[in-house]
Structure 1
Amino acid sequence: MKHLITTSVLGLALLAAAPRGQAQNADRRWGIGLNVSAYQYKGNFGSEYWKLDQAEYGPGLSINRYISPGLDMGLHLSYVELKHTTAQGNPYYGSSFETNVVNANLGFKLKLNNGWALKEDAVVQPYLLVSPGLAFASAGGTLNRDNQSRNFDESKTYFDVHGAAGINFRLGDAVGLFVQTGQHFPLGANLDNQPNRDDNSIDDRYLQHTVGLNIGLGKAKDTDGDGVRDKKDKCPDTPAGVQVDENGCPLDGDKDGVPDYQDQCPTEAGKAELQGCPDKDNDGVRDKDDDCPDQAGTAALRGCPDADGDGVADKNDKCPDTPKGVQVDANGCPVDADGDGVPDSADRCPNTPAGAKVDANGCPEIPQEIRKLEQPIRFRTNSTQILPSSYPTLDKMVRALQEHPEYSIRIVGHADSRGTDEYNQGLSERRAISAKNYFTQKGVDPSRIPTLGMGESAPAAPNTSAKNMSQNRRVEFRFEFFIPDQQPAPQP
């Protein structure tokens, strides 16, 4: 009984200190077992089988090696002092023996939790054990026969055949609690020193009922250090420090496929491309960053729309229909640097002094005394020759250009309706060039004299009479503000 108490206390202490587990396995291939057994003798002096009150107790130790899911192999060592005194009615009444037995067996454990009958990590794990070995017996005692008594004391070694069945209860990955019952057949053994033997060599044998702990040695391989061994880890490359579930995969509280450690919105199911955040309007901007979560917009405007594409969100745009490409201010309106009311995109004179009156092009208005000089000149039928009567008119405009280098003059040629459209178009262009030549011959820079031909498309009077048609054979003039290296935009 003393052996039982000592071994039980040691086993419980090791259980408290050991990692939780299932003894040796594919990760912890080596293990150690500590146990205590109740032994029951059967021989010529009688039988103690299944009489627990007559059992003897002894400790045991095993060193085990995992071979496969269905097989373990181990070295099993045990010790017991078998005792027996014959009862009345036995021919050897009064005889007794005390035999110390040390068993050393090589065990082969056939496990039923091999993946076929039961899972390898099942809680209840039945097995069969076959363990041949040696029994070292040191027998002593008194043999009483026919009122004659003699003492004996001898030590022998026998080949031992041991078979058992047991159940291991999985407590975790490194510890199992097992119970086992088996029988030892030390061949030819004479544990009670009885001289009359049977012919079957198994006169003396004993049962062994065992309870103990199997403790896996070493540490299960856990490459990513998340506490889940690689064999069970479905996510073996989890970064260090990341919380994982029982399968070794990072936690994903909102079940959106984005692990919590990467999820910027861990309590709301979202999209992987948005780091787990939702996007109601599907504009690619997370709702938490979207100033317009119910309207598809652009990332540059924090998810708000910009109908005219000027870079100002519609909700802030005071000029929502600005033409594409026009530079705008913070309110989404075209920039007007000189404040003349003409946007810079259309302003041909963007640096007009403040307060100056400007025309549609943003340039200072031409004074009326200059405008009065804009008189048309006439041409003969089918001719580009300027009528001499027009020279005074042309000379006045030449002087104006000479006195005002800030001006240019636009010349537009016209024709009456006689002839084809193609011919009249060419004639109007030649008339405009004829007028331009008059200016250049007077020393006016050609770049200040843009020309345009309108053909018969813009008559001054209906082409219904010779008088009206003479009015349509003309060239018209328009003074404009001149910007060097910039041609005035042609206008009809």
Structure 2
Amino acid sequence: MYPKSQLLRGLALGAVMLGMAAPQAQAQTPDKKTAISLYGSGYQYKGNYGSNFWDRSSTNGGPGISFNRYLTSGIDLGLGLGYVELKGSQAGNPANNFSTNVVHGNLAFKFKLNNGWAIKEDAVIQPYLTIAPGLAYFSRESRYRGANTDENATNFDLFGAAGINFRLSDGIGLFIQTGQHIPFGGNIDGDLVRDDNRIDDRFLQHTAGLTFALGQMKDEDKDGVSDKKDKCPGTPAGVAVDPNGCPLDKDGDGVPDYQDKCPDEKGLAALEGCPDRDGDGVRDSEDKCPDTPGKAALGGCPDADNDGVIDQNDKCPDTPAGVSVDANGCPLDRDGDGVPDFQDRCPDRAGPASNKGCPEIKAEAKKVLNEATKYINFDFNKATLKPSSYSKLDQMVQILNEYPDYSLSIAGHTDSKGADNFNLGLSYERAASARAYMLSKGIPSERIEARGYGETKPIADNATAAGQAMNRRVDFDPFLTGETNAAEAKYGPAPTIQEIKSEGKVVPTRKAAVKKAPVRKAPAKRK
């Protein structure tokens, strides 16, 4: 065998070469750029004593180690160190034999076919080609024609190989490789007869081993997928992801499971991944009417009349918009008179539908109002109330207090004697005087309207004294507040005292010339 010093010197040479190349070691993946490979190889000699290529019975085994560094998707750089003891003898002349220890170190340029063009970079099967120049140290003990030809030598070695890496995981690969070493000028067998091309001795190396990626991949969101492969960076911590680093979405609705309230049913993003088969914006799991479009506020059920009661519970399904309803969807009727509040002019006091839900004025009160005109008297040719009128006006005040839903129309009239403007002004002022008295008793001003019609609305023939007396009157007519003024309904439109004054106009004057003045002044009659 060879002296230990020689063997150690060969191993030291390989270690130095390995150390020099380690900083440029080849990576297994773009995420873990540095890797180490451990392997075993079968070596087969070919030289002056013949060829053992592809002869398993003449194979010598040896260990190896390499460091690798990822450069690009198509190229890795590595350094491999291997050892083997090659043995052999000349066919037919066993006296010519050799036993040679070989330590070789090669700087490998690995050309990967899984570069993303033809084969994906993270494919399971990853073929490659390698060209690896280096050095081979030979420590030989040999006999040639009865003489020892021992030698220790270092030669330039060119190694070419083809292989396949099987990706077991992101950090582990299994590879197989076959290649040939050509040590230029190397004499493996000790035969002193050499070829001129200096490559008559060479050897095959058949290798199988494991590659382990070193270091940690960059993964900012800590989802287990490297940033280079992560198509969904920034995934929240703890969220399960697919191989692309995107949150899992089992039902494929575009809403990731960790945000999907219905992860097993395809749904809508607007509803946190839950389905809505009637398209009303309420998820089916919360929709009380899942097959009929409805309103979110009503649990997804329809409400055709928009009264807040779902159709299936609505006993009055055609309630007008904006009307307040009870639990059954029917319009409220606070006073229980059968007239719904939205149609009831008096929603807090019961009354018949014929009177719009308001209480009717009793017959006795109506009689007082109808006969009041007989008892309201004024000073002659003036608008000043006589004290005898007060009791009747007080009665009417009491009636208005008993029936707060009613207003009162006061219309003043005169006979045809005198000028038109005089009569019109007098009728206005007499109606206004009656109104002013009642307002002084606490009746709100908006509940009494006073109008004057002068001599335009007679109820009897002005040609007779009796007819004139009947035409000189003040009418008192009640009407539901908000309805048409009773005087206007009877006699037609005429501005109220309030309207005349609010417009800045002057109430028709009484200081007008008397029309149709007689030749002889006749005694004035009481108005």
What SS does structure 1 have at the residue aligned with 2:95? coil
Following superposition, the deviation at residue 207 of structure 1 comes to 1.7
Query: Which of 408, 411, 421 matches 1:413?
Result: 411
Which of 3, 27, 33 is the equivalent residue of 1:29? 33
Secondary structure of the structure 1 residue equivalent to 2:435? helix
Partner of 2:271: 274
- CA contact under 8 A between 1:411 and 1:449: conserved in structure 2? no
Identity %: 53
**Equivalent position to 1:81, from 68, 85, 109:** 85
Instruction: Flag the 1:331–1:34 CA change in 2: closer, same or farther, 3 A.
Output: same
Deviation string, structure 1 residues 280-306 (Cα, Å, up to 9, x no partner): 433222233222334433211112233
Corresponding position: 1:115 with 2:116: yes
**What is the match of residue 477 of structure 1?**
476
The answer as to whether partners of 2:384 and 2:430 remain within 8 angstroms in 1 is: no
Q: Which residue of 1 aligns with 2:293?
A: 296
Distance 2:469 2:274 in 1: 77
Change in 2 beyond 3 A, CA 1:52/1:411? same
1:433 aligns with 2:432: yes
**Aligned-partner Cα distance in 2 for 1:317–1:326:** 14
2:394 matches 1:398: yes
Question: How many residue pairs align between the two structures?
Answer: 444
Which stretch shifts more, 173-182 or 364-373? Answer: 364-373
Matched, 1:61 2:65: yes
Query: Structure 2 residue aligned with 1:157, among 154, 159, 168?
Result: 154
1:213 maps onto 2:214 in alignment: no
Is 1:377–1:386's contact at 8 Å kept on the other side of the alignment?
no
Aligned partner of 2:201 among 178, 201, 204: 204
Cα distance in 2, alignment partners of residues 30 and 453 from structure 1? 106
1:371 pairs with 2:371? no
Q: CA deviation at 1:41?
A: 1.7
Whole-Å separation in 2 of the counterparts to 1:110 and 1:116: 13
Q: CA deviation at 1:337?
A: 4.5
Q: Deviations over 1:251-278 (max 9, x none)?
A: 3343332233333334443322122233
1:27 partner amino acid: D
User: Where does residue 192 of structure 2 map in the other structure?
Assistant: 195
Distance 1:453 1:472, change over 3 A: farther
| Other structure's SS at 2:36 match | strand
Q: How big is the shift at 1:491?
A: 4.0
Give the match's secondary structure for 1:68: coil
Q: Secondary structure at the match of 1:235?
A: coil
- Separation in 2 of the partners of 1:304 and 1:342? 29
TM-score by length of 1: 0.74
1:140/1:276 Cα in 2 relative to 1: closer, same or farther (>3 Å)? Answer: same
Equivalent residue letter for 2:204: L
Stretch of structure 1 that moved more, 360-369 or 188-197: 360-369
Q: Cα distance, 1:130 vs. partner?
A: 1.4
Shift of 1:387: 11
Instruction: Tell me if the contact between 1:385 and 1:434 (Cα under 8 Å) persists in the aligned partners.
Output: no
* Cα 1:290/1:42, change in 2 over 3 Å: closer
Q: Shift of the alpha carbon at 1:66?
A: 0.8
Q: 1:325–1:414: structure 2 CA closer, same or farther, 3 Å change rule?
A: farther
Deviation at 1:357, TM superposition (A): 9.8
Change in CA separation of 1:460 and 1:263 when aligned onto 2, cut-off 3 Å: farther
Distance in 1, Cα, partners of 2:435 & 2:273: 71
1:459-478 matched pairs, under 5 angstroms: 475-478=474-477
Cα 1:426–1:300 change in 2 (3 A) is farther
Change (3 A) 1:356 1:465: closer
Gaps of 5+ in 2: 1-25, 417-422, 486-527
Contact 1:425 1:453 in 2 (8 A): no
Structure number having the greater helix percentage = 2
Contact residue 23 and residue 176 of structure 1 kept, 8 A: no
- CA–CA distance in 1 between the matches of 2:65 and 2:272? 55
The match for 1:316 among 301, 313, 318 is: 313
CA contact (8 A) 1:336 1:344 kept: yes
Q: Which amino acid aligns with 2:70?
A: Y
Distance 1:473 1:186, change over 3 A: farther
| Letter in structure 2 aligned against 1:182 | G
Q: Cα 1:282–1:433, aligned 2, differ >3 Å: closer, same or farther?
A: farther
Amino acid at match of 2:215: G
Q: Please name the residue that 2:75 is paired with.
A: 71
CA offsets, 1:160-200, max 9 Å, x none? 22222223233343333322222222222222333333333
Counterparts in 2 of 1:466 and 1:224: CA distance versus 1, 3 Å: farther
Distance 1:426 1:325 in 2: 46
Task: State TM-score, norm by structure 2.
Answer: 0.70
Change (3 A) 1:219 1:307: same
Moved more, 321-330 or 161-170: 321-330
Cα displacement (A) at 1:238: 3.3
Secondary structure, counterpart of 2:285 in structure 1 = helix
The structure with higher relative contact order (CA 8 Å, sep 6+) is: 1
Deviation of 1:225 after TM superposition, in Å, equals: 4.0
Structure 2 Cα separation of the partners of residues 281 and 476 of structure 1: 65
| Partner SS, residue 36 of structure 1 | strand
In structure 2, distance between residues paired with 1:253 and 1:446: 76
Q: What SS does structure 1 have at the residue aligned with 2:45? A: strand
Say whether 1:329 aligns with 2:326: yes
CA shift for structure 1 position 356:
10
* Aligned mates of 1:254, 1:300 — CA distance in 2: 28
Give CA-to-partner distance per residue, 1:34-78, whole Å, 9 cap, x none: 222221222233332332221211111111111111111111010
- 2:96 matched to 1:95? yes
CA RMSD of aligned residues (A): 4.4
